[in-house]
Chain A
């Protein structure tokens, strides 16, 4: 079997977002980057799939210069090499642009039997890039997968729908989007981290890719981006011993009409 390519996204850690309580303006400049949480499970799923099939795992991302750290992190999780579409437009890309870039990079990589994506990204949680890639490459897509196995050139998967589990199969090459529950995402050990820094990274620029006019322009305009005010009372009951705190809480909940 040929390569398993896992796509991942380098996102801003939401815990570092700063929101001005008065204007609701969002400050992302202090936010550290991280591999999108769900993509960590996807990287491990790809590693397991390629190990069982005796093939190689390749990590692929579309990101700006910021994503450099991401590549080392991703490579410490098992993939043998990484490809990086490096363009600043990644910071403002929508699903249309991202899928165009990744699909074009996958075509350039050429040899693949399985593309693995997380079900959604931790920042946008838009669930669209995986199925879009399948449509662009004209290969089957199986989304929201919680179990999968490869036998020869056929993929057997269990999808999780709202009320049912569905057994689905398709010939490879195919795209799967995986749920985090497919497998844990182990934290890489020191040795793996050191090795990750030495693995090869191939960088693509947009002009290296075979793209059509318009493929690099967003399809939706962002009209506004602001913080949501969680209008909670934030009353901290911190006075007295445990019993007094509980009494105060019960009184408050009665007053709220929820007891």
Chain B
């Protein structure tokens, strides 16, 4: 059946996509590769849940099967959650269907039978709105739409055996041991930038964080180039995207790949000895000064509140 098809390996995100798809006033069909996720998705009330069953348990190996389903059903839109798997599947499905793909859409609009979506470019400096022509694929990150429990629709479950790509084999999986804090949930973050001269000096950032009850993050260079902090703690477009109430950047230059990751923070504070540092252009408050002097003073001042 024609309509909007949604997929995400993340069930909550799939619920968000179902809620978004409802705004199209078209049929809403969820696609999954497991009976278990299929039953979990029922509470979000898609009209139909297609459970695809193949030999290979790698989700990416279903790209061909999903493209075939969308073609057979004459789908108008394929929405995929912008997870690692979702991005990969979306791009392969789009290629197989000769379709356009709007990646990481912050908002999606259905208007007069047309579909448009807005996305950031240039590390969040610019925003581009694109309109789909024909069947379109869109990926949407989590948290953009709210999942809605919908008991009023009794989903029809359709199980089908499909061909999967046998060429990719997943041989193992291990959880990522988070060495650092879960920055995405932190209310306050102190960020370490290249203004720190040596690894031992990070104690200054940790002391300030302790006074604030904050977590410590860093820029990509600190984690990747200097190896001073775990990769999980670097903030930016390719790392953690955070939204604390208070974000304090110590010796951070403010390259946009980094500041993209903090753009949703409530208050941004920059401390840098270079008055012309980019960070001041994206800060609410900036102190021009030596972080080695400012950070300990700030820690003391906060302890005395």
Contacts and interface: CB of A to CB of B under 8 A. Distances in A.
A123 to B, nearest CB: 6
Contacts of B301: 246-247, 250
A127 interface: yes
A29 B39 CA distance: 53
Contact of A221 (B98, B130, B288): B130
Contact of A228 (B100, B120, B134): B120
B65 interface: no
A96 B94 contact: yes
29 contacts: A12-B122, A95-B91, A95-B94, A96-B95, A125-B120, A125-B121, A125-B123, A127-B104, A128-B87, A128-B101, A132-B92, A133-B95, A140-B167, A163-B176, A166-B173, A179-B238, A181-B224, A220-B133, A221-B133, A223-B129, A232-B284, A234-B284, A234-B286, A237-B286, A238-B275, A238-B287, A250-B305, A254-B305, A256-B284
Interface string B30-67: 00000000000000000000000000001010010000
B60 A228 contact: no
Interface residues of B, number: 90
A8 interface: no
Contacts of B167: 139-140, 170-171
Which of B10, B94, B122, B238 has the largest number of chain A CB atoms within 10 A? B122
Contact of B280 (A169, A180, A225, A234): A234
B174 A164 contact: yes
A166 B267 contact: no
Nearest to A246: B297
Contacts of A201: none
Contacts of A127: 87-88, 91, 103-104, 139
B116 A226 contact: no
B91 A131 contact: yes
A256 B297 CA distance: 20
B148 interface: no
Which applies to chain A's interface (DSSP): helix, strand, loop or mixed?
mixed
A176 B92 CA distance: 13
A17 B84 contact: no
B84 A238 contact: no
Contact of A242 (B98, B225, B290): B290
Contacts of B100: 94-96, 218-220
